Amino acid sequence: MYDLIGDIHGHAEPLKRLLRKMGYRESMGSWQHPERKAIFVGDYIDRGPAIRETLAIVRRMQESGNAVALLGNHEFNALAYGHQLPDGSYLRSHKEVHNQQHEQTLLQFSGYQKDWQSYTEWFYSLPLFLELPELRAVHACWDEGHIAWLRKCGYETLNKELLVQSHDKHSYAYRVIEDLLKGKEYNLPEGVMYKDKDGHPRTASRYKWWIRAEGASFGSYLFHCPADLHQHMIDGSTAAPYPTDAKPVFFGHYWLEDQFPVIQAANVVCLDYSIAKGGNLVAYRWNGESVLDNTHFVSVSSEC
């Protein structure tokens, strides 16, 4: 059986408390459970106070067979931030907004460059998605067509070729990585914007890809939109929603703020409850069920 764990963002102490709460114990250098295995949905770095320790915990669990660790958009972004192009620029520019996003990771690895190099090499080994016989996991969005393309191209993990391709906004690789690791977006009406969690203006919002757009309001379909547009109806079609008869899917990424975690649908769970913004670190204890259950959540707060 599996314990699926949401975005950690360098919060090692809450991670250890969550693992203890679920019956994991540290032995022979790795946290482990006699009957269960962890699945991490990505975003181990940036923002938090203990990024190096977080990476060490996750990597040791993964390499010892006690966990599966997926790639998150923050690990993807870090690889692009460090990938220098022939003209001396970087694949992910070193402008202020990007510097701020990676600030804590760069600071905490100052003087530990060999360790950081080892972790970035490890990032390339992390799956972009996970499909098991009875469940699925991805960082932000499950899209069957995108995943079929990755499989066809042999891109079940990231490599430098795909990293570069996925920064060409005219390429299909760009759309695949954007959707799977960052989520699908809906363009807001012209002249409408909101500020994201870091205070940056946005004219598009991630949407809830598991529900049907037809007949949905902005408030029910979008993760973020101005309050005065909550009753505005979605105009135009989007991709087909996640099928209600598909196997359960688990993901993180969306900075939910509810005090208590809940399933998004009978077969859909978001595990990101904003630990890096004073929220909770959340896990779902999956015991083989095809219909998910709110009583299977376990969480710890960002404070001791």
**How confident is the model at residue 190, as a pLDDT?**
84
CATH numbers and ranges of domains, the chain: 2-178+242-301 (3.60.21.10), 185-238 (no CATH)
pLDDT at 215: 86
Q: Please write the tens of the pLDDT for every residue from 230-258.
A: 888 887 667 789 999 999 999 999 999 98
Span 4-10, average pLDDT: 99
pLDDT of residue 106: 97
Amino acid 20: pLDDT: 99
Locate tokens 């989007």: which residue?
A: 238
Per the prediction, the chain carries an average pLDDT of: 95
* DSSP codes of every residue in 50-116: -HHHHHHHHHHHHHTTSEEE---HHHHHHHHHT-B-TTS-BSS---HHHHHHHHHHHHHTTT-HHHH
Residue 141 has pLDDT above 70, yes or no: yes
Task: Give the model's pLDDT for residue 196.
Answer: 75
**Full-model pTM:** 0.95
Q: Position 88: which residue type?
A: G
User: What pLDDT band is residue 304 in, cutting at 50, 70 and 90?
Assistant: low
CB 32 within 8 A of CB 23: no
The rounded percent of the chain whose pLDDT value lies above 90 is 83
- Give the tens place of pLDDT for each residue, 188-225: 888 877 777 677 788 889 999 999 988 899 899 998 87
Instruction: Residue 276: name the closest of 12, 5, 4 by CA.
Output: 12
- So what's the pLDDT on residue 237? 67
The answer for residues whose C-beta is within 8 angstroms of residue 205's C-beta and 6 or more apart is 185, 186, 188, 194, 222, 223, 224, 225
Q: What is the pLDDT of residue 6?
A: 99
Query: Is pLDDT of 71 > 90?
Result: yes
Q: What are phi and psi of 190, to 5 degrees?
A: -55, 130
User: In the prediction, which pLDDT does 81 show?
Assistant: 98
Instruction: Compute the distance between CA of residue 230 and CA of residue 226 in angstroms, rounded to an integer.
Output: 7
8 A C-beta contact, residue 72 and residue 42: yes
Percentage of residues of the chain with pLDDT beyond 70: 98
Structure tokens, 77: 């972004």
pLDDT of 58 strictly over 80? yes
The pLDDT of residue 144 is 97
pLDDT at position 187: 87
216 is written with which tokens? 């949905």
